[in-house]
């Protein structure tokens, strides 16, 4: 059943217009920028994790740890650096300037749109897809 939904989601993403989320591009970004800490399989066990004082959490259990709802706003704000926690001593790098530009709205879990950048929209699409 999970596989069925994954296929549906993939088809929907492909069939959607160019402005839609691109989980494939998100997967590439994840592999390049996030996997060293959060792990290639997003289980929080990347090669850099042992060197960090604060352990990177698994990113494939974000929904499971949030009553089954994917925490869009939290993920966006942690990744673009708007979350003050990031700018105050977290080992998590600030990607805001790096992923800047191409303002794109993303539907938050509340139904309200949240503005972020195109790469972060793609990253969110990828992370959503790998939730257990």
Report the residue from 21, 79, 116, 117 that binds ligand HEC according to the rule CB under 6 A: 79
Query: Which residue, among 85, 86, 116, 88, has the nearest Cα to 103 in the 3D structure?
Result: 116
Q: Is 43 in the site for ligand HEC (CB under 6 A)?
A: no
Q: Could you tell me the smallest distance in angstroms from the CB atom of residue 37 to ligand HEC?
A: 3
Asked if residue 123 binds ligand HEC (CB under 6 A), the reply is: yes
Min dist CB 118 to ligand HEC, Å, is: 13
115 touches ligand HEC by CB under 6 A: no
| Least distance CB 110 / ligand HEC (angstroms) | 17
How many residues appear in the chain?
A: 132
Q: Among candidates 131, 29, 34, which has minimal Cα distance to 91? A: 34
- Cα gap 104→86, rounded to integer Å: 22
Told to check if 37 binds ligand HEC by CB under 6 A, we report yes
Neighbours of 114 (CB within 10 A): 20
Residue ranges that bind ligand HEC, judged by CB under 6 A: 33-34, 36-38, 48, 52, 54, 56-57, 59, 62, 74-75, 78-79, 85, 90-93, 95, 123
């Amino acid at each position: 059943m999970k596989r069925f939904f994954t296929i549906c989601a993939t088809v929907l993403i492909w069939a959607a217009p160019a402005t839609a989320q691109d989980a494939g591009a998100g997967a590439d970004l994840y592999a390049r920028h996030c996997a060293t800490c959060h792990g290639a399989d997003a289980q929080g066990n990347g090669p850099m994790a042992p060197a960090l004082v604060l352990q990177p959490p698994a990113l494939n259990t974000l929904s499971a740890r949030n009553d089954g709802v994917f925490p869009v706003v939290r993920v966006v704000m942690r990744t673009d650096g708007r979350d003050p926690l990031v700018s105050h001593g977290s080992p998590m790098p600030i990607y805001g300037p790096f992923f800047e530009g191409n303002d794109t709205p993303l539907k938050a879990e509340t139904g309200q749109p949240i503005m972020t950048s195109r790469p972060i929209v793609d990253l969110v699409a990828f992370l959503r897809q790998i939730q257990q």
